[in-house]
Structure 1
Amino acid sequence: MILSQAVNQLAQFCGPRDLSSLTKQALQTEQGLEQVDVLAFFGGSILAGGDQLAEAIRNKIAKTYVIVGGAGHTTDGLRQQVRDHFPQLDPSGLTEAEIFQAYLEQKYGLSADLLETQSTNCGNNVTFLLDLLAEKGIDFQSILLMQDATMQRRMWATMKKYAADKLLLNYASYQVTVKEENGQLHFDNAPFGMWGMDCYLSLLLGEIPRLRDDEEGYGPRGANYLAHIDIPEEAQASYQLVQEKTGLTSRKANPKYAG
C-alpha cells in the first residue's frame, strides 16, 4: 500500500457518513425518517463544516439544531481561519459554537436554535450537549452528529456511551482525499478552511490510539470515555504505515482541555 492510499483509508474509517446527502429524500430513503429530532454540529470542524450545517438547516432535515463547542485544541486554528477569510468578524474570545453561529449569520443569514459553549473535549461535548437538551426539555430518539472528519467516529462512539438506545447517525462535516506527487502529499480539492497537511495527518493519527479498547485507549477497558468499537485490520495497518512513512506522531491530549 502506498502512503496516499493509507491516509485515505484511515480518513474513510475516521470520518463516516450514514447519509449520502443532507436532504430529506436521503434521510427518508436511507434511514426511514422524515426528520431527525436533533442535529448536533461540533465546533472542532474546519469552516467547510459550517457550509454543510447551513445546507442541513436550509433543507429542514432536523427539528432542532445545536452547535456544540467551548474552547479546545482546535479553537485557535478556527479563530485564525475566521480572521483570514472574514476580517469583518472578530473571533477573539469567542467559543467555537459562537464562531460558527456568527459564520452562519454572516454568510447565510441562518442560525442554530441552541449553542453549547462550555465544553472543551469530545467527552464533555456530549455530556454538556445532553444536559442542554434535557434543560430545554428536548426529548430525542434520533440525532445526527456532524464533526470534523478526523474526529467523527470518536464523537459517535462517545455519544453511544451515553445514548446507546437512540438512533445515532454520522455525517462527517467534509470528505477529502490526498494524492502523492514528487514525494509530497497534496489534497484533492481541499475543502474551505482545510487543515495544513501535517496537522491533518496528526489529527488522523491521534484517533486510532484513542479509539482502541485497551488500557491506553479511550474504550471501556481504558479511560472509559467512549463505547467499544472494533477497529478493522486495514485501519490499523494504515495507521502504522502513515506513522512510519511520515515520522509524525499522534496528537497528544492537552491536559488544559481535560474534562
Structure 2
Amino acid sequence: MSDFVTLVDYLTTAPENPDFHADTLLIAGNSLPYLIISAAKFCETTAEIQRVIFVGGFGHGTAPLIANCQKSCPELVRPEWEQLSEAEIIKEIFSYYCLRDLLLLLEKHSTNTGENARFSYQLFDHEPPQKFWLVQDPLVQKRSHLTFSKEWQLPLSAIQPLFFEQPKLIEFDHRPYFENEKMDMWWTADYFLSLVIGEIRRLKDDENGYGPKGADFIPHVDIPEKVLTSYRRCQKYIIGNPRI
C-alpha cells in the first residue's frame, strides 16, 4: 500500500451508524458537484429530512467548484456564479435536483471550516438541531466532523458524515487514480496534495496543528503511527508551498 493510499484511507474512513436519523442535513462548502447532487437525491427520497443548511462563502474551494461544475453539469453554470458564495452556488445545484418543499438556510460568509461550523450554529437563535447529517469533501470530512462537534457542542455520534461513496485511491502518480475512475478528475493534482497532506498537518496535535497544543480548533486526535510515517514521507511533495 502506497503512502498516499494510507493517508486517503485514514482521512475518508467515517464512522458507520446505520441507525442514524435526523431531520437536518448540512452541506459545507466543497468543490465536488457529485456530492451536492447525491445529497439532493438523498433528500428527495428521504422523507424525514425537513431542513437543509448550505454553508460557505468565498474560500479555496470556490474556483474548483465552478471548474468542476463546468465539466460535470455545464448546463447549470451561470456567469453570475463568479460573484456568488459557495453556499449560494451549492443551493442552486441542490434545488435543481431536489424538488421537495424543504426549509433551506444559507450561511454565506464563512471562509474556512471553523467558520463553517461557528457561523452555521449562529443561524439558530434558539433550538439548534441536536443531530444532523454532514456533507463535506471526503478528504476533509474527518476534521470537519471534529470541528462541527466542538463548535456545536455535540457528541461526534450526533453528527453523521455522509459522502455516499468512500474514495479508494489506487496510486498517486503525478495525479490521483481511484478505483472509481470518475473520481480521478475530482481534484487536480495540486489541490489533492494540498488537501491530503495539509489535513494530516492540521489533525496533528502539535504547535503547527489544530488540536489543543496548537490552534485549539479541534479536540486531540490520536493519529496512528503508520499514518504519520506515510505523512512524513509525503511531505517532500509540498516542500516550498507555504499554504499547506
1:217-252 CA distance string (max 9 Å, x none) = 1111111112222111122122223334xx234975
Aligned partner of residue 178 in structure 2, secondary structure: strand
Using the size of structure 1 for normalisation, the TM-score is 0.79
Alignment RMSD:
2.8
* Identical pairs, percent: 29
Work out which of the residue numbers 126, 131, 134 in structure 2 matches 1:145: 134
Mapped to 1, the partners of 2:149 and 2:8 lie a distance apart of 21
Mapped to 2, the partners of 1:138 and 1:251 lie a distance apart of 43
Work out which of the residue numbers 9, 15, 36 in structure 2 matches 1:18: 15
Q: Structure 2 unaligned runs (5+)?
A: none
Asked if the contact 2:8/2:196 (under 8 Å) is kept, the reply is yes
Mapped to 2, the partners of 1:128 and 1:57 lie a distance apart of 23
Mapped to 2, the partners of 1:95 and 1:89 lie a distance apart of 14
- Paired positions, count: 236
Q: CA deviation at 1:9?
A: 2.1
Q: CA deviation at 1:122?
A: 0.5
> What amino acid is the match of 1:89?
V
Work out which of the residue numbers 54, 77, 81 in structure 1 matches 2:64: 77
> What amino acid is the match of 1:163?
W
Aligned partner of residue 205 in structure 1, secondary structure: helix
Asked if the contact 1:206/1:251 (under 8 Å) is kept, the reply is no
Q: Which residue of 1 aligns with 2:122?
A: 131
Structure 1 window deviating more from structure 2 (119-128 vs 174-183): it is: 174-183
Work out which of the residue numbers 103, 107, 113 in structure 1 matches 2:93: 103
Q: CA deviation at 1:145?
A: 1.6
Q: Structure 1 unaligned runs (5+)?
A: 20-26, 255-259
Aligned partner of residue 114 in structure 1, secondary structure: strand
1:167-219 CA distance string (max 9 Å, x none) = 12222465222324988752332339611233212210000111111111111
Q: Which residue of 2 aligns with 1:39?
A: 25
Using the size of structure 2 for normalisation, the TM-score is 0.83
Asked if the contact 1:148/1:173 (under 8 Å) is kept, the reply is no
Asked if the contact 1:45/1:147 (under 8 Å) is kept, the reply is no
Asked if the contact 1:16/1:171 (under 8 Å) is kept, the reply is no
Structure 1 window deviating more from structure 2 (167-176 vs 7-16): it is: 167-176
1:210 and 2:202 correspond? yes
Q: CA deviation at 1:60?
A: 3.2
Mapped to 2, the partners of 1:73 and 1:187 lie a distance apart of 23
Mapped to 1, the partners of 2:224 and 2:211 lie a distance apart of 15
